[in-house]
Structure 1
Amino acid sequence: MGSFYEQNQNINVLLVTPSAPGHLNPILRLGKSLVSKGLHVTLITNEYPFKDNTMIGGVRLEFFSDGLPLDYNRKADLVHSMDMISKFGPGSLLAFIRSRPNKFAYIIHTPFLPWVSDVAAEVGVPNAMLWIQPCTVYQIYHHYYNRLEDFPTESELNMNVKLPGLPVFRTDDLPSFVLPTNTFASFGSVLKKLFCSMHKVKWVLGNSFMELEKDVTVAINNTGRVFWPVGPIVPATLLGKEEDFDLTKSNEDQNNCIEWLDKQKPSSVVYISFGTLLYWSEKEIQSIAAGLKKINRPFLWVILMSPSYQQLPKLEILEEIKEQGLIVSWSPQSAVLSHPSVGCFLSHCGWNSLLETITAGVPVIACPHWTDQPTNAKLVTDVWRVGVKLNKNSEGFLDGEEVRRCVEEVMSGQRSKEFTKNALDLKSAARQALVNGGSSYDNIQMFVNEIISSCSDQQ
C-alpha cells in the first residue's frame, strides 16, 4: 500500500477557482480528498485569502493574477471582477503551468472559468469541472444554453418547463439567469460559453450525492455526458471530524453563538442566515424581526450589513426582541447547524448552505433571492419535502406574518414531524454516500483511477 501511495504522489493535479468562498471551499475540500488518495494537489486562485499559509490539508496554495490589485474588493463588484478574471486569467494561468517543472496530470476547475478548458487543451492536459450547484441546475442550464427546450420569454413569461429526470418547474422555480428578467447579463454569457463548450470537459464532478438527486443524475448520464456526484462536500465538522481550515470570517461571535446555543432547549432555535453576498435592508430587518416577535421563539440571526452601515440600524423592534435571541454579524455555521438546540434554518438556499443543512439533518424555511436559489427552494419543498418556502409580498419584500407562518409550520405544524423525519433520512444518506462503498466514495475513487490512467497514457 505504501508503494501505491508513493507512486500516486508523483501524479500532480491542479485545481483552478475564483476566490469566492462558494467556489473555493468545495474545491479545496475536494483537493484534500484527492490528497488522501495519494495524489499531489495544487490549488491556484485569483486572490490570496490564506494569510501566511502555503499549504492547507496537504493542498499546495498558489496565486494567479486577474489584473486587479490584491486589496481590491472583488465582492463589491462581481461583474467587473468576472470580466477581469476572464481577461487576465488565461494568460496568467498558462504562464504558471509552463513555469512548473512537473507536468500536471489533470486540471480541475469550478464553473464561471470556462476558459480553463482552453488553457488545459493548450498544454495537453485533460480537464474536469467541479459543478458547485445541484445536478438539477446543471440539467436546466444544459437544456437552456443549448436551446434543447423552450424556456420563459418576455412574451411568455409564465410557463412550465419539464426536463428529463426532473419535476415540472414553474417560472419562479427556475434559476434567475435563464429568465428574461435577468439583470446580470455577464454571468449569463459566461454560463453560455461554459455549456456550449462542455465537450472540452472530460468529467463533471457534482457537489451532490446520488441518493439526493438520483433521477436527474441518471438522466444526464443516459445522454452520454459524464456526470458523477462526489458530495456532499461540506465542512468536516458536519461529519464528526475536525476541520483544519476555515476561510470565512472568524471572531468572538463564534464562542458567543455556541455558548448561547448551549443554554437553549433542544430543537427550539430558529437559525437565520442569508450567506455572504446578500446584505440586509432596514425594511427586511424590520419584517423578519416582526415575525420573530410574533412567534416568541429563541433565534440566532446572522445579519450581514452593507459596508455603508457601520452598525445595525437603531430600530425599535430590535430592542423589543433583544432578550428573545442573539443577533451576530457572523456565525460558525457548520457548528451551529450541528447543535442540538437548532430546530430549523431560515435560509437563502445557497447550495453550500443547503448541503450543510442536509448533512446536519435540519428542516428548512426557504427564502431564495437569485441564481440557483429558487430551484434549490423547489427541491426543498416539493422533492425532498424538508421544509417550506417563505413567499414575498407583491412588492417583493419579506412579510412578518409570513415569517411567523413558516416558522410555526416547520416547527410545530401538521407536517413538522414529516419535515424532521425527511431531514434526518437525508442526513443519514449523506453520510452513507461518503463512507467506503458509498456512492460518492466510489465515484471519487473512479475519478482517481481515471487520473492515474490518464497519467500513464501521457508517459
Structure 2
Amino acid sequence: MESLAKAGPLNLSNLIKQHYHHTKLSCIISNPFVSWAVDAALENGIPCAMLWIQPCLPLLHTEDLPSFLLPSNSFGGVFKLLSDMFETIKKYKWVLANSFFELEKEAIESMTELCPIRPVGPLVPPLLLDQHQSLDVGIEMKKPDETSLDWLNKQRPHSVIYVSFGSLAVLSAKTMEAIATALKNTKHPFLWVVKTAGQLPLGFEEETKTQGLIIPWSLQTKVLAHPSIACFITHCRWNSMLEALVAGVPMIAYPQWSDQPTNAKLVVDVFKVGLKLKPGPNGVISNEDIEECITQMLSGPEFEGFKKNAAVLKQAACEAVTSGGSSERNIRLFVNEIARRS
C-alpha cells in the first residue's frame, strides 16, 4: 500500500496529462483506499469526489470495532492508510456514500458537519430495487452456478437458509464442521456457497443432497431476491449487507475482519434485522449456537419483527433511488454541480 501511495499520484497525473490533454475531465471519483488520487486531481485542476463504501458508525464496544483498529491487527500498513484517508478527506469537494439517508439519518446528519457527504446509494443491481433489468451493467467476479435458481424455484417460500462468506474469508475446519452440523440438524433447506468441496466435512454433501445445495459461487442478488430465501448467514461485508437489506432478507451475522464486526453491530442493534453468532472461549462457534440462531430467525419471538424491519428498509431503499428520492436528488445535485463547472 505504501508503494502504491508513493507511485500512484505521479502516475495518475501523468496518465491524465498524456491521455486527456485534449479533453477536459469534469470530475474524478475515487474510493477511500486511494486517497492520494485527490492530490493528482487537484494538481490538474479537476474536482474530486470520494465514494465512501462503508457505513457510518454507532456507539461501539471493542468487539464491534473494525479489526484494523485493534492491537491484534497484523496489517500494520492499513492503520496508516486509514489515517491518511481521514487526513485527505478535507481536500475532496464531495464525499459520495454507498448508503441512503433513511438508513443512517443520524450519522449522516452528524458527518455533514465534518465533510460534504452525500448518500447516493444503495449501489446495488436494479433487480433488488424493483427497476428494469436493462439498467443492470454490473459484472460477476466469477462464473456463477445458475443451477441454484432452478433449485430455489422448487423450494417453499421463506424456507431456505442462504449461507455465503464472500470470496476472501477462509473459515477453519472446526467452523465449517459446526456450520455443516447445524444446517443438517435444523432440517431446513439450505443453499451454501463453498469455494471448494474439500472444505466440507467428509460425507456431508452426500448426507444432505436432498436437503440442500452446495455451489462454488452464486448469483447473489438473484438469490437474495428469490421468494424462497428466509435468512442469510453472512460475514457482513457492506455490499452483501446492503444487498440483503434492499432484498428485505433478515441476517445472521458472523463477521470475520475489517469493517465486518461494525456492520454486524448495525444489523443487530441499529437496523434490528438479525442476530449475531458469537464464538466461544476457543474462538470457534458451536453448532448449537448456530442452530439456536436459525430457530430464532425462522420461528422465534423476534421473527416477525425482523421481517417487518427488513421490509421497511427495503421500501425506504427503493424510494431513495426513485425520482425525487433522497439519493436520486443527491446524484442530480452532484451532476448539476459538475455540469456548471464544465
Indicate the TM-score class for this superposition, using the shorter chain for normalisation.
Answer: over 0.9
Q: What is the distance in 2 between the residues matched to 1:278 and 1:304?
A: 10
Name segments (4+ residues, structure 1) moved above 6 Å. Answer: none
State whether structure 2 residue 271 is matched by structure 1 residue 359: no
| Aligned sequence identity (%) | 46
Q: What does 1:57-456 correspond to in 2, within 5 Å? A: 82-99=1-18, 100=20, 101-136=22-57, 166=58, 168-221=59-112, 223-240=113-130, 241-242=132-133, 243-251=136-144, 253-254=145-146, 256-305=147-196, 311-313=198-200, 315-455=202-342
The TM-score with structure 1 as length reference comes to: 0.71
Which of structures 1 and 2 has the larger relative contact order (alpha carbons within 8 angstroms, sep 6+)? 2
Instruction: Provide Cα deviations, 1:230-288, integer angstroms capped at 9, x if missing partner.
Output: 1000012212321233232124x12x100000000000000000111112332222110
1:135 touches 1:206 (CA, 8 Å); kept in 2?
A: no
TM-score scaled by length of structure 2 = 0.94
Letter paired with 2:126: A
Q: 1:176 to 1:193 in 2, by over 3 A?
A: same
CA RMSD for the aligned pairs?
1.5
Which letter maps to 1:95? N
Query: Over residues 325-345 of structure 1, what are the superposed CA-to-partner deviations in whole Å (9 max), with x where a residue is unaligned?
Result: 000110000000000000000
Deviation at 1:312, TM superposition (A): 4.3
2: CA distance between counterparts of 1:398 and 1:322? 24
- Counterpart AA for 1:367: Y
Structure 1 unmatched ranges of 5 or more: 1-81, 137-165
Structure 1 residues 399, 380: CA separation in 2 closer, same or farther (over 3 Å shift)? same
The whole-number CA distance in structure 1 between the counterparts of 2:191 and 2:126 is: 22
- Post-superposition Cα deviations, 1:357-411, rounded to whole Å, max 9, x if no partner, equal 0110000001111111111111111111101001112121221111101111111
Any idea what SS the aligned residue of 1:112 has? helix
**SS of residue in 2 equivalent to 1:128:** strand
Give 1:135 shift: 2.4
Counterpart amino acid of 2:148?
Answer: C
Unaligned runs of 5+ in 2: none
Q: 1:371 to 1:314 in 2, by over 3 A?
A: closer
CA distance in 2, matches of 1:396, 1:389: 14
